[in-house]
Structure 1
């Protein structure tokens, strides 16, 4: 698309020149700096806020893997891509031993069949009912903490004796009240963007701590 076509029509202030364009660019720079400072501060706060919990969770997950357990990750939208990233990191790590991990959002046929035939709220729970067993690990991500299908999955995982790990934002939402999440990590922010950025940091730390626990260094 040329600058003289659609892009210019969408963003005319960038092509008019003069003081208006300069002011817009200055605001964009300032906004970028503010957002970068927000996520840096939020990530730094997670060490004190979530540190002890992440260590405890890593030790329990390491024990589950040593006993033959597997990890199942799930979430919606951006949390879906985070679930895929988390599973990939455990299964194909940049270093350390690979561990059995699966993303429940990876099978499009299963997702569409369950959504069409039963309901979208069971797309993760039904998969855990089919594949999960006592001692496995269920990791669910939700920025709001209120995703119905994530909560249903935790219900199923808890009934099956799986280790349950949740990542949420805001105040934890329904996930914090459900009583089915063994290890809950809440990012205290009202910005979906900052929550997901900080959750990414938290589960990467959890991955590293789990490997340290497996190597008896934690």
Structure 2
């Protein structure tokens, strides 16, 4: 299928400048190469720590621990994917208890309206989580106040804390409340979120392997 059939408005016959399709193709190829290179670099950057984090997560799950994921915007969607990946994994992987905090809409909107959006995840963890559970937070900037407060609450409750951030890690890297922080060294929000998807899928796979005694 040629690009003109998918995007007729880019065709010169539709008034698009000459060469625009070639420019779009080149830009797409450049972005694809960028994310491939970034993902490949993460193996050296985070490989050993992903394995150790997965081992600790597996220990928590073996002891009855639960996972609570959270993030804002696109990262909230990733939090939901993490929940679904654990609760309803592809066969023959083992289902594991997980909850996406942003998707409890009633609680999020009540706390945002009555208290502050800054506390939505921290208050949920205070009500639902305890020692032995796992807190997983995602941010592109690493500076979301409600994530920082959630990690502080999680640390105070003895939870295992796992974070995903971009750029240089931002405030999440400075907080001292995150046991395992995986930073994607990029200034592109798109590349950060794409690479974070890879990281948490690898972490899930390694956790499954650890639960089955393969690592």
Correspondence for 1:203: 200
Task: Select between 30-39 and 15-24 the one with higher mean Cα deviation.
Answer: 15-24
SS of 2:136's equivalent? strand
RMSD of aligned Cα (Å): 1.6
The alignment of Structure 1 onto Structure 2 pairs a total of residues equal to 208
TM-fit CA distance, 1:207: 0.2
Conserved 8 A contact 2:11-2:21: no
Q: Distance in 2 between matches of 1:149 and 1:51?
A: 28
Correspondence for 1:51: 47
Segments of 4+ moved more than 6 angstroms? none
TM-fit CA distance, 1:107: 1.0
Residue from 137, 143, 147 that aligns with 1:146: 143
1:17-96 correspondence runs (5 A): 17=13, 21-95=17-91, 96=93
Query: Which TM-score applies when normalising by structure 2?
Result: 0.93
Q: Distance in 2 between matches of 1:146 and 1:89?
A: 26
Q: Distance in 2 between matches of 1:63 and 1:12?
A: 54
Correspondence for 1:171: 168
Change (3 A) 1:80 1:17: same
1:128-143 correspondence runs (5 A): 128-143=125-140
Q: Deviations over 1:166-212 (max 9, x none)?
A: 00000000000000000000000000000000000000000000000
2:180 maps to 1:183: yes
Change (3 A) 1:135 1:30: same
Contiguous gaps of at least 5 residues in structure 1: 1-10
TM-fit CA distance, 1:14: 3.3
SS of 2:164's equivalent? strand
TM-fit CA distance, 1:23: 1.5
Q: Distance in 1 between matches of 2:206 and 2:68?
A: 18
Q: Distance in 2 between matches of 1:62 and 1:20?
A: 54
Change (3 A) 1:27 1:67: same
Q: Distance in 2 between matches of 1:118 and 1:77?
A: 20
Query: Which TM-score applies when normalising by structure 1?
Result: 0.92
Contiguous gaps of at least 5 residues in structure 2: 1-6
Correspondence for 1:159: 156
Q: Distance in 1 between matches of 2:212 and 2:8?
A: 57
Q: Distance in 2 between matches of 1:217 and 1:100?
A: 21
SS of 1:74's equivalent? strand
